[in-house]
């Protein structure tokens, strides 16, 4: 194997978007192998890395049994020992959304057997738990369409690194639940809510009037200073541990005013210090 050869392992829950991710990576110039048995991974990496025409390989794996998961763990250790630059992309979604997707496609879950779709999902989550824990990037596709997912893949794997750390800054509403793929979760409900200002209520945090209202407070500016400083503090450690992507979630009650404004302002600050940022407003428009 060629030391420094780039390998992305794409895995995750069935129905969460593995095929979309694979097509997006292929469009970005990655050589993609789909549904490779885990025990064949070291051999495939050795063969592909020997080609002068291929520098980046993406392998999509579908773990359907405990023995295959054990094979995958060993295969990953083997390729890492050879100096391969390995990253793990894990795709997931909430159970309700996955059930809806399977029902709309009229396909059974591959692990449900004679039982229901939820039974298959429970078994799959158990099998994939360790792999999710070691993932470099987790993307929750529950509220993403195909285009949103492709944009996330583009931001994470598009070009050779131009910056040290890439960040997704996500606004959300606590009443819709915590983001499953967040590395850092922040609560800005301590700030006054523009919802109670009649002229600001119909607007969102994307509007200058709301943004100015929220960020005019000293507490808001201090929050932004500390968040930017905290990311600067941990970024070197993330990179040492091989973590190149971080998702910072900022939540308010409904995900319309405070969290959106603060996410936009935090992203602007991070861009100024050389962090490549993707901004996602998960719940904007849901009210």
Residue 172 DSSP code = E
Are both 13 and 150 inside the same structural domain? yes
Are both 126 and 44 inside the same structural domain? yes
Q: Would you state the structure tokens that stand for residue 268, as one six-digit string?
A: 């602007």
Residue where a domain stops, chosen among 106, 127, 157:
157
Are both 118 and 233 inside the same structural domain? no
d(CA 79, CA 14): 25
Are both 144 and 11 inside the same structural domain? yes
211 within some domain: yes
Q: Please give the backbone phi and psi of residue 208, each rounded to the nearest 5 degrees, phi first.
A: -60, -35
Asked if 44 and 59 count as a contact pair (C-beta separation under 8 A), the reply is yes
Are both 194 and 143 inside the same structural domain? no
Are both 25 and 148 inside the same structural domain? yes
pLDDT for 37 = 84
Residue where a domain stops, chosen among 140, 157, 174:
157
Are both 135 and 14 inside the same structural domain? yes
266 within some domain: yes
Are both 120 and 13 inside the same structural domain? yes
Residue where a domain stops, chosen among 95, 126, 157:
157
Are both 146 and 218 inside the same structural domain? no
pLDDT for 163 = 41
Tokens 């960040």, residue located: 167
Sign of the dihedral defined by the CA atoms of residues 62, 70, 2, 9, in that order: positive
pLDDT for 162 = 45
11 within some domain: yes
d(CA 238, CA 246): 9
15 within some domain: yes
286 within some domain: no
Long-range pairs, 148-156, Cβ under 8 A, ≥24: 148/280, 149/17, 149/20, 149/21, 149/24, 150/20, 150/24, 151/278, 152/278, 152/280, 153/21, 153/24, 153/25, 153/28, 154/24, 154/28, 155/276, 155/278, 156/89, 156/245
Are both 209 and 237 inside the same structural domain? yes
pLDDT for 138 = 93
pLDDT for 222 = 95
1 within some domain: no
Asked if 255 and 193 count as a contact pair (C-beta separation under 8 A), the reply is no
**For the domain that residue 111 is a member of, what is the CATH number?**
3.40.50.300
In sequence order, what are the beta bridge partners of 184? 248
- Domain membership of residue 135 as a residue range: 6-157
Tokens 């997704």, residue located: 168
119 within some domain: yes
Low-confidence ranges of the chain (pLDDT < 70): 1-4, 63-70, 159-164, 240-242
Query: Chain centroid to CA 69: how far?
Result: 22
Q: How many domains, in total, are found in the chain?
A: 2
Are both 58 and 123 inside the same structural domain? yes
51 within some domain: yes
d(CA 287, CA 54): 47
Q: Please give the backbone phi and psi of residue 173, each rounded to the nearest 5 degrees, phi first.
A: -110, 130
Are both 170 and 101 inside the same structural domain? no
pLDDT for 213 = 96
């Amino acid at each position: 194997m060629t030391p420094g050869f780039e390998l992305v392992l794409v895995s995750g829950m069935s129905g969460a978007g593995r095929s979309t991710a694979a097509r997006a990576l292929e469009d970005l110039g990655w050589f993609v192998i789909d549904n490779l048995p885990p025990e064949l991974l070291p051999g495939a990496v050795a063969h592909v890395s020997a080609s002068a025409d291929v520098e980046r390989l993406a392998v999509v794996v579908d773990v359907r049994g405990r023995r295959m998961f054990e094979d995958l763990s060993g295969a990953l250790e083997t390729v890492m020992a050879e100096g391969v630059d390995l990253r793990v992309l894990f795709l997931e979604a909430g159970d309700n959304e996955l059930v809806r997707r399977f029902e709309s496609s009229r396909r059974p879950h591959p692990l449900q057997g004679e039982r229901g779709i939820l039974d298959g999902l429970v078994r799959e989550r158990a099998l994939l738990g360790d792999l999710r824990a070691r993932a470099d990037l987790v993307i929750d596709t529950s509220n993403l369409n195909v285009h949103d997912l492709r944009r996330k893949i583009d931001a994470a794997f598009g070009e050779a690194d131009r910056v040290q750390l890439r960040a997704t800054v996500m606004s959300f509403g606590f009443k819709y639940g915590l983001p499953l793929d967040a590395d850092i979760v922040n609560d800005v409900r301590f700030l006054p809510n523009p919802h109670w200002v009649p002229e600001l209520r119909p607007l969102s945090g994307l509007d200058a009037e709301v943004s100015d209202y929220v960020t005019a407070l000293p507490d808001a500016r201090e929050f932004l200073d500390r968040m930017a400083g905290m990311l600067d503090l941990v970024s070197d450690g993330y990179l040492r541990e091989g973590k190149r992507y971080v998702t910072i979630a900022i939540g308010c009650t409904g995900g319309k005013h405070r969290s959106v404004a603060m996410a936009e302002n935090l992203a602007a600050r991070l861009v100024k210090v050389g962090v490549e940022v993707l901004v996602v407003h998960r719940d904007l428009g849901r009210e």
